[in-house]
Structure 1
Amino acid sequence: MAAKKLYETFSKSLIEEVQKWGSMKQTGVSLRYMLEFGSRFTERNLILAAQFLHKELPIRIARRAIELQSLPYGLSEKPAILKVRDWYLDSFRDLRAFPDIKDKNDEQDFTKMINLIKVRHNNVVPTMALGVQQLKKDLDPKLTYMDLDDIHQFLDRFYMSRIGIRMLIGQHVAMHEPNPLPDQIGYIHTKMSPVEVARHASEDARSVCLREYGSAPEVTVYGDPDFTFPYVPNHLHLMVFELVKNSLRAVEERFMDSDKLAPPIRIIVADGLEDVTIKVSDEGGGIPRSGLPRIFTYLYSTAKNPLDERADLGTADIATMAGYGFGLPISRLYARYFGGDLQIISMEGYGMFDTT
């Protein structure tokens, strides 16, 4: 009843419009197109981009709002999921209420508005994770991750769509930066150094580990720092951060009570003819073969459930080292968004090898 009552706070006409826009076809946008379009920076192009987003964003946001309303196992009725759904409905309403974009002033107002939408959705991932954990506590313990495949498929679609929406908004907003960095076109760095990004990401992961455990294994990065390629640094940072964070936790917990010095995590950046490969390896003990199929599901984590430790957890923006089980599957989606992938190889009793 709670879901129905909350849903009725939105007008019937808005819900009908969401259904209408959610049935429309969305338009794909490639990294190459963003680069080429962004490199021809003119006032006219900004207006054209805003006009495109004015029509494209409501389609993508409406689809997610519709899906959030009809999830299996009662997931749609969890308080955290209701909160996320309301964010999407509010954003759809804001977009549809904005008038047609005709000139520079319209475009600037629209840019401010979509940036506010982006901020509104900042906590979607941890809030969705909280909703999934709320569901997990209520589920029959006999259910396996295979039984919940429809939830995993939904979450893959949902997060891949979210990456696309934030990329489109972020790219447009970033094009308005008064003093862009050299070789930067919006979100995209045309000469990104993966070695440099990997170093920053591993330093950030070590900071989290130090805060959580009081110590952290060293991280060594191997590769040519002068090698560059066009990519989105934020995306790569997130992927490496999550992989290294997992490795740090595994090594730290394995060697916590040992007299031996915790071995370092190794990151290797390799430039191939067709692909750029980043390998993260550790000696954290690995995962049993029976657990490997589950590591890319959203209801699995080898860490303690943060809701078990914080029964009164009302918000989801508390940074934890692990426990929600979303890091690896979302990192894989970021890798796949521009045609890459993320693979995990485990040597039980030794450690993990992650490549992206």
Structure 2
Amino acid sequence: MAAKKACHSFSKTFIEEVQKWGCMKQTGVSLRYMMEFGSKPTDRNLLISAQFLHKELPIRIARRAIELETLPYGLSHKPAVLKVRDWYLDSFRDLRSFPEIKDVNDEREFTQMIKAIKVRHNNVVPMMALGVQQLKKGMDPKIVYEDLDEIHQFLDRFYMSRIGIRMLIGQHVELHNPNPPPHCVGYIHTKMSPVEVAQNASEDARSICLREYGSAPEINIYGDPNFTFPYVPTHLHLMVFELVKNSLRAVQERFMDSDKVAPPIRIIVAEGIEDVTIKVSDEGGGIPRSGLPKIFTYLYSTARNPLDEYSDLGTADAVTMAGYGYGLPISRLYARYFGGDLQMISMEGYGECSSPHFDCLNT
């Protein structure tokens, strides 16, 4: 029923336009360029930025809308995925309906419109996770999920593209801030302290652990708080938050019924000539070697899936300790977005070490 309704919502001409724009070449934008361009957010620069986004965003959004139509194993027809596809088509229509941007007033109206698009897409990740969950419910339980390469590759592309779209929109919108925080150029902090971000992310993760379990292991952070480098604090916060949340859950569940005091989570921030590495290690028992290939897939989680608890699609954005099955793979995409990576080492019976690192020369 949902598929039939969606088909009537968009004309053939409109779908053909989506196909046309989806075939166009998108333009990459580096962190360094965004930092240099945004350092002087004059009316002229904001106008140039808006004109670029007016052409660039429809290309990126059209590509994802097209791909959402052609997913394997019937994933395209799941209600949650159809909902996400309609969000992308609605956003494409809004962008293409907006007239040519010629002056400051046009630019301001355009900025308000793309802000609304960003809000519309806030729940894309949990909604796609719900779509994958709907797919899993109808699949043979004997299927080895990490063998479903087409779905994993699509979700990697899809979520990486989403990071890029939200970064472009968020950066442009934030450049309008009349009172930006010190050393900030839009979303980018030119002197970000990874130790400070790690502390904030750890406190957030620990508060969730306390809420769920009533107690939480300690977290020890080692590194120079005065060391800084240019990066996007919200991206780093998300990565550290996810890694620490996983470690807290593993340690808490391992020592919950033990007389021993739960050992602390350790975070080490290491600065190198080319890389910055943040190591999160725990003594939560580790993952069996057979489980390691699964941890970066979107169809696997060692925790009970909280999506099972909700029948309403709108409640899929609830924050829980674990279970959606996308925390680690999406954290790795955030690390890779600006040239870094995230690696996981596990010692079964002892614990895990997860290390995102960031390329200082690729900013």
1:238 correspondence with 2:238: yes
Q: Which moved more, 1:203-212 or 1:140-149?
A: 140-149
SS at match of 1:268: strand
Partner in structure 2 of residue 262 of structure 1: 262
Task: Work out the CA distance in 1 between the residues paired with 2:194 and 2:313.
Answer: 37
Task: Work out the CA distance in 2 between the residues paired with 1:191 and 1:205.
Answer: 24
Partner in structure 2 of residue 174 of structure 1: 174
Q: CA deviation at 1:7?
A: 2.4
Partner in structure 2 of residue 189 of structure 1: 189
Contact 2:41–2:176 (8 Å) recurs in 1: no
Contact 1:101–1:107 (8 Å) recurs in 2: yes
Partner in structure 2 of residue 131 of structure 1: 131
Partner in structure 1 of residue 215 of structure 2: 215
Q: Tell me which amino acid in the other structure corresponds to 1:170.
A: G
Q: CA deviation at 1:186?
A: 0.2
Q: CA deviation at 1:235?
A: 0.2
Partner in structure 2 of residue 272 of structure 1: 272
Partner in structure 2 of residue 281 of structure 1: 281
Normalising by structure 1, what TM-score? 0.98
Partner in structure 2 of residue 303 of structure 1: 303
SS at match of 1:290: helix
From the superposition, tell whether residues 313 and 251 of structure 1 become closer, same or farther in structure 2 (CA, over 3 Å): farther
Q: CA deviation at 1:314?
A: 3.3
How many residues align structurally?
A: 355
Gaps of 5+ in 2: 357-363
Query: Deviations along 1:151-177, whole A, 9 cap, x unmatched?
Result: 000000000000000000000000001
Partner in structure 2 of residue 204 of structure 1: 204
Q: Tell me which amino acid in the other structure corresponds to 1:16.
A: E
Q: Tell me which amino acid in the other structure corresponds to 1:314.
A: L
Q: Which moved more, 1:89-98 or 1:5-14?
A: 5-14
Task: Work out the CA distance in 2 between the residues paired with 1:246 and 1:301.
Answer: 11
Task: Work out the CA distance in 2 between the residues paired with 1:261 and 1:114.
Answer: 50
Q: CA deviation at 1:147?
A: 2.9
Partner in structure 2 of residue 69 of structure 1: 69
Q: Tell me which amino acid in the other structure corresponds to 2:151.
A: I
SS at match of 2:191: strand
Task: Work out the CA distance in 2 between the residues paired with 1:147 and 1:25.
Answer: 30
Task: Work out the CA distance in 2 between the residues paired with 1:41 and 1:94.
Answer: 25
Normalising by structure 2, what TM-score? 0.96
Q: CA deviation at 1:92?
A: 0.3
Q: CA deviation at 1:338?
A: 0.2
Partner in structure 2 of residue 82 of structure 1: 82
1:225 correspondence with 2:228: no
SS at match of 1:8: helix
Q: Tell me which amino acid in the other structure corresponds to 2:54.
A: H
From the superposition, tell whether residues 313 and 255 of structure 1 become closer, same or farther in structure 2 (CA, over 3 Å): farther
Partner in structure 1 of residue 28 of structure 2: 28
Task: Work out the CA distance in 2 between the residues paired with 1:275 and 1:97.
Answer: 43
- Name the Cα RMSD after superposition: 1.0
Partner in structure 2 of residue 116 of structure 1: 116
Query: Deviations along 1:90-147, whole A, 9 cap, x unmatched?
Result: 0000000000000000001000100110011011111111111111111111211243
Q: Tell me which amino acid in the other structure corresponds to 1:352.
A: E
Q: CA deviation at 1:313?
A: 4.5
Partner in structure 1 of residue 100 of structure 2: 100
SS at match of 1:342: strand
Task: Work out the CA distance in 2 between the residues paired with 1:205 and 1:319.
Answer: 11
